[in-house]
Homo-oligomer: A and B are copies of this chain.
Amino acid sequence: MSHDSRVAALDSLLEDAGLDAVLATKDASIAYLTGFWGLQMERFFGVTVRKGGEGALIAPSLDRDAVAAAPTGLEKALYDAAKGNGLSTLYETFGSAKRIGVEEDHFIWARAKELTSAGYELVPASDLIMELRAAKDAEEIAAVKHACAQIIAVYEEVWADLKVGDSEADVNAKAAYSLARRGGAHPGPHILFGAHAGDPHGSPGSRTLQEGDVIVADIAAQFDGYWGDMTRVAHAGTPSDWAAKAWDIVKEAYDDAVAATMVGNTARDVDHAQRVIVEAHPEIGACLHGAGHAIGTEIHEPPFLVATSETPLREGMIFTVEPGIYNSEKGGIRLEDDILVAADGPVNLSPSALELRVIE
């Protein structure tokens, strides 16, 4: 689907949503609608789509070359970020529109206040934009699968190289280098050892791999605009009883959650499928997060597979399914694949061996 077709599809939703225009501000939404990837930092970037399908890409003149190259039929409205905050340029792109949908989970309060003071009525519209972004077309599905294939190749290198005595910092630096050489943007390996792997968001550091450590290797990167995100686990030497038991629990939770990733279920159903299994084993560890998140042009995007979400799963959605169990003393086990909700059931876009690999 071309970028301009997506703009037209978004326009077709505005009437029912009662909006005069919608303003997309997330990097990933801007890229989805225009093909332009910016580097926002403190500067304002956005895409305005007015009812009728006209609109604009608004960006600092700093990004003029990339804006000029963006494959979009929308107007391109540049402003000088050293001389203003871009909002007067934004207002020009609104035309007579007054009731504006914004991505409420991204738009900052300072800008919301300015728009309100300028007479615009803001309406939450993240769901509206995600209604389009959530269901991936064949080209997008292929892009996620391609990203996963690159990550799978990096795992082979990680497992082949890893040995007792290696530091987390070195192992992660090498994996990031391999991802980047393959064209991966924002390479985010997150490979943790032993008790440190009991912290699902621990930062790789100077810890070295010891005999008896579990290894949780979460590897993600963005290729050609689309993310892959996987987790595999290993053990330095013969797995301990704890690790073997934790593996069995998480593998069962993974199988059930993947099976539940289908049309007819809601996000909470997938979470429930893993949670009921992981939470039954508090003596092994804790269930610290939901079943996963949608993935595409963002590494984490809505819908989220959490206990509070009644969002129905639709064909074309792609989710990480990533149950885990965590023990602050012994470490963690997590398994993660990227699962497509297809007409006939779940399809694994990151197929590769699922095993508790032993590092000798």
Contacts and interface: CB of A to CB of B under 8 A. Distances in A.
Interface stretch (A172-180, A207-215, A352-360): A172-180
A121 interface: no
A70 to B, nearest CB: 12
Contacts of A41: 299-300
Interface in A142-195: 169-170, 172-174, 176-177, 180-181, 183, 185, 187
Nearest to A65: B199
A88 interface: no
Interface in A44-102: 60-66, 81-85, 102
A23 B203 CA distance: 25
A320 B267 CA distance: 45
Contacts of A105: 42, 108, 110
Interface string A10-27: 000000000000000000
A104 interface: yes
A122 interface: yes
A128 interface: no
Chain A interface residue bracket vs B: 35 or more
Contacts of A64: 199, 288, 328
A84 B169 contact: no
Nearest to A184: B173
A173 B177 contact: yes
Contact of A169 (B85, B108, B181): B181
Interface string A265-297: 000000100010000000000111110010000
A245 interface: no
A181 B170 contact: yes
Nearest to A172: B180
A107 interface: yes
A295 to B, nearest CB: 12
A289 B82 contact: yes
Nearest to A198: B65
Contacts of A172: 180
Contacts of A117: none
18 contacts: A37-B203, A42-B304, A62-B201, A63-B201, A64-B199, A65-B199, A81-B306, A82-B271, A83-B306, A83-B307, A104-B109, A104-B113, A105-B110, A108-B108, A112-B112, A170-B181, A173-B180, A176-B176
Interface of A: 37-39, 41-42, 60-66, 81-85, 102, 104-110, 112-113, 122, 124, 126, 169-170, 172-174, 176-177, 180-181, 183, 185, 187, 198-203, 271, 275, 286-290, 293, 299-300, 302, 304, 306-308, 328
